[in-house]
């Protein structure tokens, strides 16, 4: 890993907001998820949650391609499971919805741990999401349309969250765990070795301050063998 790439990855990781996330409900098109994840990466969101309509369409392996390599995508098939996971992290769960109880999205305190549920463009959020969320939010509009493209709505809300968090100093110091930083540094700085580790079932090694792999001789030997060979040695 070059010093320039190491510096770029570390700068990105220093701004990550692990307690700000988005949950897309009823996803059935990968390009919609990709557009949302692209915005999340720009904002500093580290995780995106997706409730899929079918197993055939979900993103496999936790992350999708392209810009999504830097975001962890968590897949679900039940809205209740996704919301339970978010609330278990102590997040306030917001849902975009036009209702009598909805408040202007700018009135929310996004410096709190926050998850934003985005429903389908055609049908909106499900009844289950509306029942389980802590608060409905709306993006005020004065035209003839009553909703925005899901990725546009995501951008509008997240940039308000970013504005509040910047004012509160939440982007001023690293907030990711060291374990997660190490994982991203290895996968982003040494993708060929990371793929080999995943294929062979090897643990990730540590990454030093220069971005180099720190591993013992046994690890390097296993990296050069096929999985059956080194498992036989361990036995």
Retrieve residue 15's tokens: 């701004």
Distance in angstroms (rounded) separating the CA atoms of residues 107 and 95: 14
Binding residues for S-adenosyl-L-methionine: 96, 139, 148
Distance in angstroms (rounded) separating the CA atoms of residues 126 and 97: 10
Distance in angstroms (rounded) separating the CA atoms of residues 119 and 95: 8
Binding residues: 96, 139, 148
Angstrom distances, CA of residue 42 to CA of 46, 158, 174, 214: 10, 10, 16, 30
Instruction: Using the CB atoms, write b or e for 66-96: b if 16+ within 10 Å.
Output: eebebbbbbbbeebeebbeebbeeebbbbbb
DSSP annotation of 205: P
Residue showing tokens 């709306």: 138
């Amino acid at each position: 890993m070059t010093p320039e790439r190491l510096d770029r990855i570390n700068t990105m990781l220093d701004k990550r907001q692990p307690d700000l996330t988005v949950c897309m409900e009823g996803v059935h098109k990968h390009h919609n998820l990709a557009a949302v994840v692209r915005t999340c990466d720009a904002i500093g969101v580290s995780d995106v949650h997706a409730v899929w309509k079918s197993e055939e369409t979900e993103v496999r392996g936790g992350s999708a391609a392209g810009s999504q390599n830097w975001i962890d995508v968590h897949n679900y098939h039940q809205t209740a499971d996704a919301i339970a996971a978010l609330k278990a992290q102590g997040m306030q769960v917001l849902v975009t919805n036009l209702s009598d109880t909805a408040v202007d999205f700018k009135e929310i305190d996004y410096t709190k741990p926050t998850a934003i549920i985005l429903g389908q463009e055609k049908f909106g959020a499900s009844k289950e999401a509306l029942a389980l969320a802590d608060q409905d939010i709306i993006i005020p509009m004065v035209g003839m349309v009553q909703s925005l493209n899901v990725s546009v709505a995501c951008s509008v809300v997240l940039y308000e969250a970013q504005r509040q968090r910047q004012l509160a100093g939440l982007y001023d110091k690293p907030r990711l765990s060291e374990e997660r930083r190490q994982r991203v540094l290895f996968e982003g700085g040494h993708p060929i070795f990371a793929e080999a580790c995943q294929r062979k079932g090897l643990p990730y090694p540590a990454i030093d301050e220069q971005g180099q792999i720190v591993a013992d001789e046994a690890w390097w030997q296993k990296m050069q063998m096929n999985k059956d060979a080194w498992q036989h040695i361990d036995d």
